[in-house]
Amino acid sequence: MTDQGKPIEFPLGAEGPFHRLQVALRLIAEDRPHLMRRLIVALAVTWLPLALLWWWQGVSVSGSGRAASLFTHIVTYARFFVTLPLLIAAENAVRPSLEHAFAQAITAGMVPPSRYEQFVELLMRALRSRESKLAEALALGLAFLASQIAVSVATSEHHASWIHTGPALTWAGMWFTYVSLPLLQFMMFRWLYRLSIWWRVMYGLSRLDLSIQPGHPDLRGGLAFLGDSVQAFAILALAFGAAAAGSVADYVLSEGASITELKGFIAGAVLCILLLFLGPLAFFFGPAYRAKDEALLRYEGLAERHWQAFDKKWVGADASPRGPGQIAEPDFSALADLGSLVKTVREMKTLPLTKEGVLPLVVAIIMPFLPVLAMAFPLQELLAGVFHVFLGRAE
């Protein structure tokens, strides 16, 4: 990656101590991710033992709603059949778009040749941070701590469930507390750490004296490809959205809460997940704003001088009479081109957000909440609202 002619490699989601453990267990080959094998093993470790232990113990819990049985507990399916597989799949899914964005930064000249070595070192530091054993150990410790807290809160509730009967955990509840839930939360904390690396990379990139072009036709100073690149995280956004939506569904079904009571939580969860992926783009606001401000001073000054010369030559009192065939079209064309350039600079957005990048994230985050909202609103009304938001009112 030190050679400017070689392709950029940035496997943000892969490698690391946990990856090497999976290689040692032959779940991953050096040249193949073996996604299906890992998904099957993940379900075999997390959900299947819960089902077998619940069935084998034969605990009978009545009068506790759908949370009483493992097989009717929606949040369990959301966690281990949706969120966990998506967290695993995202490891390789994010790579192509991010590498394409970095390659574009080089080929489009956004990173000046004089800053190329600093750019490479920025990426290398990020990949070294990804290998941190301490970070993954902390993620594992936080996962166990969060699991203990979650189960302690569950056992303190008055109603029983498949996890516990009174203060005592069921066999399935013990496996859930010490294996299944910690593994899921470890994967989530591990991804949050990887995203913190992405934030640091974007911050460092924004400080490299980038060649931002305020007159660029993308209306984002040539940075639109960075806004497009966040769609790489759509699968990860879907995973986080599924985890939040599963918790909402569980609360609605087990506690009898209404969707209207939880609308603040739903809106907050959607916003937080969205900011998790779009937040790093804010680092480019300062450089883009300064480039736009400086360009406006230059181009508007140039336009004013050009207009004065044009006016004096063709319209002013000193202009000599000219026939129709004596009009100099290049003068008019240059003035129109310069005016178009000034207009483009004025319309430039100082945040590189794009519809192509934001829309896939919004859809991915909201999608898991649609079944939850269907509990409270008629399906026809819900679909009409979705079409209105994304396609506009049809009249």
pLDDT on residue 196: 94
- Total number of domains in the chain: 1
User: Residue-wise pLDDT tens for the chain (395 aa)?
Assistant: 445 556 677 788 778 888 888 888 888 877 677 889 899 999 999 999 999 988 888 765 554 444 567 777 778 888 999 999 999 999 888 888 888 888 888 887 888 888 888 888 988 998 888 888 999 999 999 999 998 888 887 676 656 677 877 677 888 889 999 999 999 999 999 999 999 999 999 999 999 888 888 878 888 888 888 888 899 999 999 999 999 888 887 777 666 666 777 778 888 889 999 999 999 999 999 988 888 888 777 766 666 666 556 556 555 555 555 555 555 555 556 656 666 666 777 778 888 888 888 999 999 999 888 877 766 665 555 556 555 555 555 44
Q: Answer yes or no: are the C-beta atoms of 360 and 234 closer than 8 Å.
A: yes
Inside any domain, residue 42? yes
* H helix and E strand count, the chain: 17, 2
* Amino acid identity for residue 196 in this structure: S
Inside any domain, residue 313? no
pTM value?
A: 0.83
pLDDT on residue 23: 81
pLDDT on residue 394: 45
Inside any domain, residue 383? no
d(CA 173, CA 165): 10
Inside any domain, residue 177? yes
Inside any domain, residue 44? yes
Residue 180: DSSP 8-state: I
Residue 6: DSSP 8-state: S
Domain boundaries, position 143 = 17-289+353-361
Find all residues with CB under 8 Å of 68, minimum gap 6, and list them.
61, 62, 159, 160, 161, 162
Say how many Å lie between the first and final Cα of the chain, rounded.
54
Inside any domain, residue 160? yes
Inside any domain, residue 257? yes
pLDDT on residue 173: 87
Structure tokens at 151: 């189960």
Tell me how long the chain is. 395
The count of other CB atoms within 10 Å of the CB of residue 140 is: 18
Inside any domain, residue 96? yes
d(CA 362, CA 214): 28
pLDDT on residue 316: 56
